[in-house]
């Protein structure tokens, strides 16, 4: 049986009374449902209490405030992220890329929850299991500890900002915006810029808007990982290529979720 996690100092202690019908787990699950339906701005203590058929004061017995509720919601969402079964240093770039795409898949399935991740340090158990895996992988490759630690911060920002931007585009589509037409118009606008002031932009109008979201995301990750390679010792083994995953992980490279079982595509 795994050892118990320490309590997060700034979170309210859990209620231990099993007779209490309202629990932190129930509150968080309800808040995530509100998030999925209405976005982060729709999640308030009053709104969650309304869903539970109670008053906001009942929630404060289990959650200190909305900030803590957001932290707990993020932890709940991150628990859906699957990891490879084990670190494989010989294909570290590919594994990091797979994890980044998996994290993006989960975060974008919960609207704009990535905004919470952008403003917090990962301390929940589900978040720490990802940090532990990636840190272990980067250290096994031969990166210096400080470089590996800071690399996780940079990768987290790439994941969070891309997930939020993806959500923004999804919202535009939901409002009826034709993104294809929008980028066609943008290409035309750049092409029509005055050549005497914007010669490069005008010449590369098509290049500037080329590629879909996954291609651009994979490019950002690859640029970051190539930078990390410059910190590797000279005798480090050459890594495998890191193509962007086209879909769920293959059977050859099994994944596991927070329960430790081998994963399907589950969310």
Q: Give pLDDT tens digits for 215-252.
A: 999 999 999 999 999 999 887 666 555 555 444 343 33
* Residue 17 clears pLDDT 50, i.e. is over it: no
Q: Give pLDDT tens digits for 100-145.
A: 999 999 999 999 999 999 988 889 999 999 999 999 999 999 999 9
Question: Quick count: other Cβ atoms within 10 Å of Cβ 85?
Answer: 14
Domain limits, the chain: 24-78, 83-252
Q: Rounded mean pLDDT of the chain?
A: 86
83-252 and 24-78 share a CATH fold: no
| Sole residue written with tokens 């979201």 | 213
Domain covering 83-252 assigned CATH 1.10.357.10 in the classification: yes
pTM of the model: 0.80
Question: Quick count: other Cβ atoms within 10 Å of Cβ 116?
Answer: 23
What is the rounded average pLDDT of the residues 52-68? 95
* Residue 67 clears pLDDT 90, i.e. is over it: yes
Q: Is-contact 125 132, C-beta < 8 A?
A: no
Most distant CA pair in the chain, distance: 75
Under CATH, to which class is 24-78 assigned? Answer: mainly alpha
Q: Give pLDDT tens digits for 145-200.
A: 999 999 999 999 999 999 999 998 888 877 888 888 988 999 999 999 999 999 99
**Proportion of the chain above pLDDT 70, given as a percent:** 84
Q: How far is CA 104 from CA 35, 95, 110, 121, in A?
A: 17, 14, 10, 18
Runs of H (alpha helix) within the chain: 24-38, 45-52, 56-59, 66-78, 92-108, 114-118, 125-141, 145-174, 179-191, 199-203, 205-208, 213-229
């Amino acid at each position: 049986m795994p050892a118990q996690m320490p309590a997060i100092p700034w979170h309210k202690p859990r209620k231990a009374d099993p007779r209490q019908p309202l629990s932190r787990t129930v509150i968080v699950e309800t808040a995530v449902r509100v998030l999925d339906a209405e976005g982060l701005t729709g999640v308030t203590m009053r709104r969650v209490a309304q869903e539970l058929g109670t008053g906001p004061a009942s929630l404060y017995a289990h959650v200190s405030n909305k900030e803590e509720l957001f932290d707990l919601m993020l932890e709940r969402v991150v628990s859906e992220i699957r990891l490879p079964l084990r670190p494989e240093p010989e294909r570290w770039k590919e594994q990091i890329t797979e994890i980044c795409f998996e994290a993006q898949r989960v975060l974008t399935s919960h609207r704009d929850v990535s905004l919470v991740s952008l403003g917090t340090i990962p301390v929940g158990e589900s978040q720490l299991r990802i940090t532990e895996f990636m840190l272990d992988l980067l250290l096994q490759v031969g990166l210096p500890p400080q470089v590996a630690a800071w690399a996780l911060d940079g990768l987290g920002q790439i994941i969070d900002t891309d997930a939020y931007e993806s959500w923004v585009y999804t919202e535009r589509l939901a409002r009826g915006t034709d993104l294809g037409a929008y980028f066609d118009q943008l290409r035309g606008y750049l092409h029509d810029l005055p050549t005497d002031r914007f010669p490069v932009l005008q010449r590369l109008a098509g290049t500037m808007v080329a590629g879909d979201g996954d291609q651009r995301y994979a490019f950002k990750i690859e640029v970051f990982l190539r930078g990390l390679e410059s910190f590797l010792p000279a005798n480090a083994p050459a890594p495998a290529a890191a193509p962007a995953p086209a879909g769920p992980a293959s059977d050859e490279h099994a994944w596991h979720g927070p329960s430790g079982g081998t994963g399907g595509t589950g969310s």
